[in-house]
Amino acid sequence: MENINFDSAIERLEAIVEQLESGQLTLEEALVVFEEGVKLSLYCQKELKKTDGKVSTLLKKLNGELELLEFEG
Amino acid sequence: MKDYITVGMLNAYITRLLDHDEILQNIWLKGEISGFRLYQQSGHIYFTLKDEDAAVSCVMFKSKGQNLKFKIEDGMEVLLRGNVSVFARQGKYQVYVEEIQPYGKGGLFLQMEQLKARLASEGYFELERKKEIPRMVSRVGVVSSQDGAALRDILKVLKQRHPGVAVVIAHSSVQGTEAPRELAQGVQLLNEYGELDVIIVSRGGGSLEDLMAFNSEELVYAIYESRIPVISGVGHEVDFSLCDLAADVRAATPTQAAQYAVPDYAIIQKNFASLGDRLTRFMNRILSNREERLDRIMMKKVWKEPRLLLQKKSELLEDKKKSLKKAMEKNLKEKGHQLALAIAGLDNLSPLKVMTRGYAILSKGERVVKDIHDVEIGEKLQATIANGQLQVVITGKRKVKRWKT
C-alpha cells in the first residue's frame, strides 16, 4: 500500500472487481483479492475526504523560503 | 580666398549636432524593412527602413542583434528603437538600432510563427512528452493574474466540480514586458512547491499583443520542464498560443481549463461507491455459490444414511465371494480331470501291467538282477510276478548273446 495514489488505487480496485466478476478465482484467491480491495476502497474513501478546500497564494520570500498566504478573492 | 572647412570637419560638426539632440538619441521608429543584409563575418545587420515616400539606412551591431527573437525579413513591418548619427565615411546619417520588434498583428504573428517553427524543431511540442492529467485531482496550481477575470472563472468552476479542491495561486502579470518571465517563474515556483496534481496557466481573452506573453520562449521552456502536468487556457476558443502547444492539455478558455483540471467530484464519488458495491456483491456471490454447492453435496442421501454406503459394500463383497467360489470349483474340476488322465497314463507304464503278461522280476535282496555274473549257482533269489513272490534257487547259468537294442 506504499507509493500509492488515488488513481492507481482506483485502477487496482477496478481490476480486482473484474477478477471477482470473472468468477475464475478459487475461493482462497478471491478472499485474498477481496481483502486487498477492501483496503484500497478504505484508502480511496479517505483520499476523497482529505482535501481541505483552501485557496492560497504562493510566494517566494527574499530568503528563498516558500510561503502560502490565504487568498482573498 | 574664402574661409572653408574640410569635409571631415563638416561631418564632425554635423555628428556633434545630431549626437547632442536628445530626441535623436532615443527614438522609436516604425517602417518596412528592405535590403536586409547580415554580414556573416562581423555579424552586423544592415537594412533600409522605409515607408511610402521616405527611407533611412539602419545598422544593428552584432551585440544588439544576435539575440533577436524573430528573423528579420524584407517587407516586414517593424518598430525599432535607436539613435541617429552620422556615418562620416559616406557622409550620410543612419539609425543605430538598439532593439527591434515586429510591428502590428502581422508582425507579431510572424514572430510567433518563427518561434513556433524553431521550438517545434527542437522538440518542445513533442506529443510523446505529454503527461497525463490524473483522474483524481485534489490540488490545483494556477498561474494567472490574481486580479483577473480568468482566475475568478477558474476558481468558480473548480469549486463547483470539487468543493474540496485545494488551490495554490502563483500570481503573475499576464501582459506586458514582465509577463513572459513572470509566467515562466510561476510555473517554476509551483513546481518547487510541488504538492500539486495539475497546473493551469491561464488568462482571459485579449488582443494578439496582450496574448503575446503566452507565446514566449521562457514560458514554453518552463512548461516543458514542469514535472507537474500543465493545462493551458489562454484567451478564447479562436486564440492559439505556444503555451497551448507546450502544455500537456490545451483548453480553449480558462473555464474549460478548470473543467479539464478537476473531475466532477459527484461523479467520481458515485463511480467509487458503485465500485465498492460491486466488490462486496461479487465477493458475496462467490461465497454463496460455494455455499450452494456445498449444500447440494450435503443434501445427498448418503450423508443422511451412512448404512446405505455399507450395505452396498457388503453386497459387493458377497458378489465377489460367490464368484471366487465359482472360480475355485471350476478350477478344481478341471484339475481333477487332468489328474485322472495322468493316472491312466501311469498305469500303462507300470511294471505290474507288464508282469500280468507273464514277465517276472528277479531280485537279490533289494537289487534287481540284470546280469548273470551277479549271481552264483545255489544262490537264493526272489522272483516277483503279477500276483506274488517266489523263492528261487539258481541251479545253473548260461550266457546268451542277444542283439543290442
Pairwise CB contact (< 8 Å): B272 & A7: no
Mean pLDDT on B51-56: 92
Tell how many helices (H) and how many strands (E) occur in chain B: 14, 14
Instruction: Indicate the helix (H) or strand (E) that contains B101.
Output: strand B92-102
Are B203 and B211 in contact by the 8 Å Cβ rule? The answer is yes
The residue written with cell numbers 502581422 in the block is B106
Question: According to the CATH classification, is domain B7-102 in 1.10.600.10?
Answer: no
Measure Cα distances from B396 to B359, B392, B393 in Å.
20, 12, 9
By Cβ distance, the residue of B134, B159, B190 closest to A58 is: B190
DSSP 8-state secondary structure symbol assigned to residue B215: G
Q: How confident is the model at residue A51 (pLDDT cuts 50, 70, 90)?
A: low
A41 near B CB under 8 A = yes
Residue of B nearest to A72 (CA): B146
Of A34, A57, A58, the CB nearest to B279: A34
**pLDDT score at A2:** 59
What are the tens digits of pLDDT across the range B194-220? 899 999 999 998 888 888 899 999 999
3-state SS class at B199: strand
What pLDDT score was predicted for residue B150? 94
Chain B residue with Cα closest to A20: B282
Residue A21: give the domain boundaries.
6-70
At B404, the pLDDT band (50, 70, 90 cuts) reads low
Residue A55 to chain B, least CA–CA distance (Å): 5
Chain-chain contact of A17 with B279 (C-beta, under 8 angstroms): yes
**pLDDT for B263 beyond 80:** yes
Name the residue among A27, A30, A53 with its Cβ closest to that of B165.
A53
Residue A27 domain-assigned? yes
Best mutation target among A25, A27, A55, A59 (most B Cβ atoms within 10 Å) is: A55
Strands B92-102 and B54-60: parallel
**Is the confidence at residue A1, as pLDDT, over 60?**
no
ipTM, two decimals, is 0.76
Domain B130-263, what fold?
A: Rossmann fold (3.40.50)
Positive or negative, the CA dihedral A34, A35, A41, A44 is negative
Total count of domains within chain A: 1
pLDDT at B107: 74
**Whole-number pLDDT of residue A27:** 82
Determine the Cα–Cα distance for residues A30 and A24; give it in Å rounded to an integer: 9
Asked if A39 is an interface residue toward chain B (Cβ–Cβ < 8 A), one would say no
Contact status of A57 with chain B (Cβ, < 8 Å): yes
- What residue spans define the domains of chain B? 7-102, 130-263, 300-349, 354-393
Angle between helices A27-50 and B265-299 in degrees, nearest 10:
160
Which of the listed ranges B127-136, B249-258, B283-292, B332-341 does the model predict with the highest average pLDDT?
Answer: B249-258
| Mean pLDDT (whole number) for B286-308 | 81
Any B CB within 8 A of A29 CB: no
Q: Is residue A1 one of the residues assigned to a domain?
A: no
Q: Which residues, listed in sequence order, are joined to residue B55 by a DSSP beta bridge? A: B50
Residue B12's CB is within 10 A of a number of other CB atoms, namely 14
Write out pLDDT tens, residues B108-123. 788 888 889 999 999 9
How many CA atoms are closer than 13 Å to the CA of B113, on its beta-carbon side?
A: 9
Closest residue to A7, CB basis, from B134, B167, B282: B134
Domain assignment of residue A14, yes or no: yes
Q: What is the nearest CA distance from A15 to chain B, expressed in angstroms?
A: 10
**A–B: how many Cβ contacts below 8 A?**
104
Position B106 pLDDT exceeds 60: yes
SS3 B333: helix
Mean pLDDT of B9-35: 93
Is A60's CB within 8 Å of B189's CB?
A: yes
How many CB atoms within 10 Å of residue A41? 21
Nearest CB to A16 within list B146, B269, B279: B279
Residue B27: Cβ-neighbour burial (10 angstroms; 0-12, 13-18, 19+):
middle
Residue carrying C-alpha cell 528592405: B34
Averaged confidence pLDDT in chain B:
89
* Residue corresponding to grid cell 485557496: A55
Which residues face B368 on adjacent strands?
A: B363
Could you tell me if B384 and B355 are in contact, meaning their C-beta atoms sit under 8 angstroms apart? yes
Q: pLDDT exceeding 90 applies to what percent of chain B?
A: 47
